[in-house]
Amino acid sequence: MVQRKEYLAQIAAWREKQVIKVISGVRRCGKSTLLSQYIDLLKDSGIGDDQIIFINLEEPEFEALFDHQDLYRYVQKRLCKNKYTYVFIDEVQRCPGFEKAIDGLFIKKKVDLYITGSNAYMLSGELATLLSGRYVEINMLPLSFAEYLIFLGNPADKRTAFNNYLRFGSFPYVAALGADKSADVSASAGMIKTYLDGIYNTILVKDIAKRTGTTDISLLENIIKFLSHSVGSPISVKKISDTINSSGRKISVNTVDTYLRSLCDSFIFYHVDRYDIKGKQYLKTLGKYYIVDTGIRNMLLETSSPDLGHQLENIVYFELLRRGCRVCIGKLAEQELDFVARSTLGDDTDRMSYYQVAASLMDQTTLARELFSLQKIKDNHPKYLLTLDDIPVRANHNGIVQYYLIDWLLG
């Protein structure tokens, strides 16, 4: 297993702190593996097996703990006396009323509590009410490109690796399948498609259809495919509703809004607001959606390279999230900027930076167009152009820095 070092560092920083550590993220992004890696680190530091309680509610052997009282009693009986017990509950949302068990365990002395979940709504209900200010959330994503290369054994041909990263996505097991040198390319591609289809259908049925109570799976899939095709484009709930209604299906704006919230709650899509750079305010209309994994998008659209520019935007958006940024779409009069990113440094300084993303800027007309939006911004915050043009050195356009995207991703 390749260590997810940044996430491990985030968890370790909260060790034995009086807060619940909540690790959230889309299914199969590596949450369970992360807990296993952290447990290994604990053992390496001298923590005994008797101090560790690990429960994976996805496993049949723990089905008896789907009652929150049984879950509480199971853990309570195994707590150590006079020394810390590290409690890990994986996919905690499978236990109805789990927040009551968590609340009871939280008040116990010398209990270090870690939970994971694949749905954001687990933090929007009673848990948030009961434990307001007493938990910290670590949102986990599939592999960054740098992590992906480590999974592949750091190949010399990074451009080919990036093409596969874009095509097949970045779930850890997908990278492992791609790293299997014994399998031929077509066999690996087939296995990856089957694996991604399994993840997608699990999210569709367990996390979205069940949550919304819908039985019309095909209608839900129409919305998912619409969003996948529209990645990186401004979109509204009404536009989705009108498009589906024009095809002969009937769906209300409120129903579409419910489905969109559930898609975001399941961490398969992320909604990004627009930000008025001049007015310094967030706008409520025409945000964008990005999909957590380009492999799933390509599988749904049955193509490997739709809208390359928007796919690159998708990659950049999630990389900015990994780097601790709050990200929005920039608006300046009639101009639009791909991303405005805010990051808070250790000295509490709020740093802002601006990004434009393009597949290629070799054409001078395209270069001028992409530069124009950045040039209209008159402040002194950093401004970047990210492109797949492999230029030998960073180009500088009067203070606007152009990066080869792959170099930028590897930081």
Q: What is the pLDDT of residues 120-136, one digit of tens each?
A: 877 766 666 777 778 99
The whole-number average pLDDT for the span 31-46 is 97
Q: What is the pLDDT of residue 26?
A: 96
pLDDT at residue 305, as a whole number: 52
pLDDT score at 22: 94
% of the chain beyond a pLDDT of 90: 76
- Contacts of 281-287 with CB under 8 Å at 24 or more apart are 282/328, 283/331, 285/236, 286/234, 286/235, 286/236, 287/234, 287/235, 287/329
- In this model, does residue 363 exceed pLDDT 60? yes
Average pLDDT in the 239-257 region? Answer: 93
Per-residue pLDDT averaged across 81-90, rounded? Answer: 97
In the predicted structure, residue 179 carries a pLDDT above the cut 90: no
| All CATH 3.40.50.300 domain ranges in the chain, comma separated | 5-139
- Model pTM score: 0.94
- 26: Cα separation from own chain's centroid: 7
Q: Model confidence at 186, in pLDDT bands (50, 70, 90)? A: confident
Number of CB atoms found within 10 A of residue 367's CB: 19
Is the pLDDT at 346 greater than 60, yes or no?
no
Across the range 86-97, mean pLDDT stands at: 93
Q: Residue 132: what pLDDT?
A: 72
Q: How far is CA 67 from CA 93, 95, 96, in A?
A: 11, 6, 7
Q: Residue 376: pLDDT above 80? A: yes
In this structure, what DSSP letter does residue 249 have? -
pLDDT at 338: 96
Please give the average per-residue pLDDT across 159-166, as a whole number.
96
Confidence of residue 347 (pLDDT cuts 50, 70, 90): low
| pLDDT greater at residue 315 or residue 379 | 315
pLDDT for res 411: 87
Single out the residue of 14, 292, 310 nearest to residue 140, CA to CA. 292
* Residue 378 CB neighbour total at 10 angstroms: 8
Determine the pLDDT at residue 20. Answer: 94
If you average pLDDT over every residue of the chain, what do you get? 91
Window from 108-122, 146-160, 214-228, 341-355 with minimum mean pLDDT: 341-355
Looking at residue 129, what is its pLDDT? 73
pLDDT at 181 over 90: no
Mean pLDDT of 244-249: 92
What architecture is the 5-139 domain classified under in CATH? 3-Layer(aba) Sandwich (3.40)
- What is the arithmetic mean of pLDDT over 295-320? 88
Model pLDDT, residue 184: 66
Q: Say what the pLDDT of residue 2 is.
A: 85
Mean pLDDT of 21-26: 95
pLDDT over 80 at 190, yes or no: yes
Mean pLDDT over 20-25 rounds to: 94
**pLDDT band of 183, cuts 50, 70, 90:** low
| pLDDT score of 393 more than 70 | no
Per-state percent for the chain, helix, strand, coil, to nearest 5: 45, 20, 30
Q: What percent of the chain has pLDDT over 70?
A: 94
Query: Does the structure show a pLDDT above 80 at 348?
Result: no
